[in-house]
């Protein structure tokens, strides 16, 4: 009798329905209710299915960004079209598991990285989906943990400095928050472009600014940036408030302030004869491929200050919420493949 039951169970497990259900869950961080980092629950969740233009990625590492907290904030989740339950996170590095029917750029087994659009997310999980327009081939010289630290912040820096400010060789740029995720890439993109880079950070991060290539490192806790950076062509503002207010006067006529945290005041821009822009980063696989080239040419290095297991996402977000991250925080989801 016992043998008969064992045979039946074995047969059932081998049927497609059971095989499918065994495959269709994954470990993930899920938000069921709005609140602080404590609402991030490590649990089983359905594995996503790629649409025809999407790839299913086995996630090895997921980058942590300040915006990830939006999925657990009622105000921002609604604004970003996120409905609960939701899996947070926008940056992944991993291996293509399966491709949708119209995907031509990738095949199963390809190492990729991606910034997934803000209204989708889903990076804090063992599997995530990304479109071809969100993903690019992972830089060979980086580990998966390093690669996961790149997409969202590097694209933000690129879209601010290259697409919006049209930064050109010989120009000067002031990068506020140069030691953070966006700032650390912005300094290096500006230098690769042949610009002169001023950058601000607190005392412990002055060396990092220099290591990233800043021509002038400014300690905002001891110095007024407006006493040091004068007549710059471009300001990249990742801090806002008083920092933005004090930035209008240091931009030369015709120059531009690009803010990623607020909207520059039009009256102040007009008063100083300068331009202003407020941007929201968009996924862009072509630009991510440009960034990959700079990484492979050793013109961009990636700073990961902390790596935590996926289950410790709450700790990672608490740290990111301080807005004093040095480089990036990354969640390790699976072991790096050999
Ligand atoms: N609009 C968009 O599309 C977009 C995209 C990405 C990010 N963002 C936003 O941009 C901000 C920065 O993002 P991130 O990922 O770079 O954040 P992050 O990694 O937390 O970095 C923030 C950096 O700002 C520095 N900082 C804090 N206060 C400062 C001050 N008063 N003056 C100068 N630097 C200061 C910190 O350095 P110290 O520790 O040395 O103080 C830290 O390195 C966040 O608010 C994020 O939500 C917007």
In the reported structure, the alpha carbon of residue 274 is separated from the centroid of ligand 1 by a whole-number distance in angstroms of: 23
Would you state the pLDDT for residue 23?
A: 58
Mean pLDDT computed over every residue of the chain: 94
Domain(s) labelled CATH 3.40.50.720 in the chain stretch across 153-278
Q: What number is the average pLDDT over the span 6-30?
A: 58
- Topology given in CATH for the domain delimited by 153-278: Rossmann fold (3.40.50)
Q: Please state the CATH superfamily assignment of the domain spanning residues 24-149+303-332 in this structure.
A: Medium-chain alcohol dehydrogenases, catalytic domain (3.90.180.10)
Q: Does the reported pTM lie above 0.85?
A: yes
User: How is 205-232 classified by DSSP, letter by letter?
Assistant: GHHHHHHTT-SEEEETTTS-HHHH--SE
Q: What is the pLDDT of residues 41-93, one digit of tens each?
A: 999 999 999 999 999 999 999 999 999 999 999 989 888 889 999 999 999 99
- Give pLDDT tens digits for 294-320: 999 999 999 999 999 999 999 999 999
> 70-90: string of b/e by CB count within 10 Å (b at 16+)?
bbbbeeebeebebeeebbbbb
Tell me the longest C-alpha to C-alpha distance in the chain: 89
Of 205, 220, 324, best ligand 1 pocket probe by most atoms within 8 Å of the beta carbon: 324
How many whole angstroms separate alpha carbon 272 and alpha carbon 103? Answer: 49
Banded pLDDT at 9 (limits 50, 70, 90)? very low
At residue 202, does pLDDT exceed 90? yes
Alpha carbon nearest to ligand 1 atom 41, residue: 202
The pLDDT value recorded for residue 15 is 40
Q: Verify whether ligand 1 is closer than 6 Å to residue 50 (CB atom).
A: no
Let me know the angle formed at the C-alpha of 98 by 93 and 102, rounded to the nearest 5 degrees: 110
Instruction: Give me the mean pLDDT over the 241-259 stretch.
Output: 98
Determine how β-strand 40-46 pairs with β-strand 25-31. Answer: antiparallel
All CATH 3.90.180.10 domain ranges of the chain, comma separated, are 24-149+303-332
- pLDDT on residue 269: 98
Please tell me if the CB atom of residue 139 comes closer than 6 angstroms to any atom of ligand 1. Answer: no
């Amino acid at each position: 009798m016992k043998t008969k039951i064992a045979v039946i169970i074995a047969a059932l497990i081998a049927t497609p329905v059971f095989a499918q259900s065994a495959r269709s869950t994954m470990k993930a961080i899920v938000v069921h209710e709005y609140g602080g980092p404590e609402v991030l629950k490590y649990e089983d969740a359905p594995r996503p299915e790629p649409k025809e233009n999407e790839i299913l990625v086995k996630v090895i590492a997921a980058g942590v960004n300040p915006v990830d907290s939006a999925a657990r904030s009622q105000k921002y989740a609604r604004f970003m079209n996120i409905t609960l339950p939701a899996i947070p996170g926008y940056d992944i590095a991993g291996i293509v598991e399966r491709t949708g029917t119209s995907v031509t750029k990738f095949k199963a087994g390809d190492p990729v990285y991606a910034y997934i659009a803000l209204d989708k997310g889903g990076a804090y999980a063992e599997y995530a989906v990304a479109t071809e327009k969100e993903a690019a081939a992972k830089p060979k010289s980086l580990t998966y943990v390093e690669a996961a630290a790149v997409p969202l912040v590097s694209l933000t820096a690129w879209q601010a400095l290259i697409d919006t400010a049209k930064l050109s060789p010989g120009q000067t740029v002031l990068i506020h928050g140069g030691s953070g995720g966006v700032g650390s890439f912005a300094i290096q993109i500006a230098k690769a472009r042949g610009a002169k880079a001023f950058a601000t950070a607190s005392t412990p991060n002055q060396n990092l600014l220099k290591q990233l290539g800043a021509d002038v490192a400014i300690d905002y806790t001891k110095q007024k940036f407006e006493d040091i950076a004068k007549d710059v062509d471009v300001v990249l503002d990742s801090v806002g408030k008083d920092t933005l207010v004090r930035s209008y006067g240091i931009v030369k006529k015709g120059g531009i302030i690009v803010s990623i945290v607020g909207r520059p005041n039009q009256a102040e821009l007009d008063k100083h004869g300068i331009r202003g822009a407020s941007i929201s980063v968009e996924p862009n696989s072509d630009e991510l491929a440009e960034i990959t080239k700079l990484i492979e040419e050793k013109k961009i290095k990636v700073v990961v200050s902390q790596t935590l297991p996926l289950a410790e996402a709450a700790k990672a977000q608490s740290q990111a919420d301080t807005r004093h991250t040095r480089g990036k925080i990354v969640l390790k989801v699976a072991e790096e493949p050999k």
